[in-house]
Amino acid sequence: MGVVLLAGCARESAEYTPLYGPYPVVSNTTPQYSFGVPAIRPVRSLWGRYARLIDALNRSSAGFTLKLESAQTPDTYDAKLRAAVFDFAIVDPYQVLIAENLGYGVIARTGKSDRVSGVVVIARQGDIHRLSDLRSRNIAFTNTTALAATLLNEYGLLESGLDVHKDALVLYTHSPETSLLNVSIKLMDAAAVSLSDWEGFQRDHPASAGQLTVLWRSDDLSGPAVMASSSLPLPHARSVQTALVQLDAQTSGREALHRAGISRFEPGDSVSYDDVWDFLQRYRRVLGPLPDRMVAR
The CA-atom distances, in angstroms, between 28 and each of 25, 153, 216, 239 are 10, 48, 53, 21
Strands 169-172 and 212-221: unpaired
Strand 116-123 with 190-194, pairing: antiparallel
pTM, 2 dp = 0.81
CATH of domain 32-112+222-287: 3.40.190.10
Rounded (5°) CA angle 106-110-112: 130
Give the Cα separation of 259 and 181 in Å (integer): 24
pLDDT in tens, 116-128: 999 999 999 999 9
Beta pairing partners, 222? none
Angle, alpha carbons 282-286-291 (nearest 5°): 80
User: Taking the CA of residue 28 as centre, how many other CA atoms within 13 Å lie in the half-sphere pointing to its CB?
Assistant: 0
Check pLDDT > 70 for residue 9. Answer: no
Burial label for 120, CB within 10 Å (0-12, 13-18, 19+), is buried
What pLDDT does residue 44 have? 67
Q: Are strands 169-172 and 138-141 parallel, antiparallel or unpaired?
A: parallel
116-221 under CATH 3.40.50.2300, yes or no: no
CA R_g for the chain = 20
Report the first-to-last Cα separation within the chain, whole angstroms.
Answer: 42
Same fold, 32-112+222-287 and 116-221: yes
Q: What is the pLDDT of residues 182-203, one digit of tens each?
A: 999 999 999 999 999 999 899 8
Ordered by start, the domain boundaries in the chain are 32-112+222-287, 116-221
Digit-coded pLDDT (tens) for 65-114: 999 999 887 778 888 999 999 999 999 999 898 899 899 999 999 999 99
